[in-house]
Amino acid sequence: MTVNKNSRPPRFKLFQAPAAIAIQKMNKTGNYRGSPRDRGYDAKWDRLSIAFRKRHPCCLWCEQIDRDTLTDLVDHIIPVVDRPDLKHTWSNLMALCRHHHAQKGVMEVYARENGLLGMLPEWCRDPEKRPFQFRPVA
Ligand SMILES: [Zn+2]
């Protein structure tokens, strides 16, 4: 094989790529969480998530403020890390956009730190019941 000295060599051998990328991400952010597969999102979850997005194509929190935004992902209302038994429970799911998923993540931390994880379902469904700092800005 001739190598053009102006062309850049491949950065990783193909079989090394996933691990190499993971290490790169970890070095960059210091908190790479692992691939979705590593985090336990399996084929059963894929099917459930797709079915859920078909039923709920729009972000729930955007709908609550009269916006139509396509959903980016399916969120566990009570996080899997806290309630792994609810991982595949339809009523523990909601469709969110990326923006609202980030907000929900902050609300989860707040709920966990204050022993209020059980409030998450109510807070997620009714913006008026959320702690003040998590209510939508009018
Ligand atoms: Zn949204």
Give domain limits for the chain: 35-134
Which residue, 131, 135, 129, is CA-closest to 100?
135
The type of residue at 97 is C
pLDDT of residue 51: 96
Which residue, 137, 97, 42, is CA-closest to 105?
97
pLDDT of residue 41: 76
Distance from residue 84's CA to the centre of ligand 1 (Å): 25
Distance from residue 12's CA to the centre of ligand 1 (Å): 37
Distance from residue 61's CA to the centre of ligand 1 (Å): 5
pLDDT of residue 25: 61
Distance from residue 102's CA to the centre of ligand 1 (Å): 10
Q: What is the pLDDT along the chain (138 residues), one digit of tens a residue?
A: 555 556 665 555 555 556 666 666 666 666 666 777 777 678 899 999 999 999 999 999 999 999 999 999 999 999 999 999 999 999 999 999 999 999 999 999 999 999 999 999 999 999 999 999 999 986
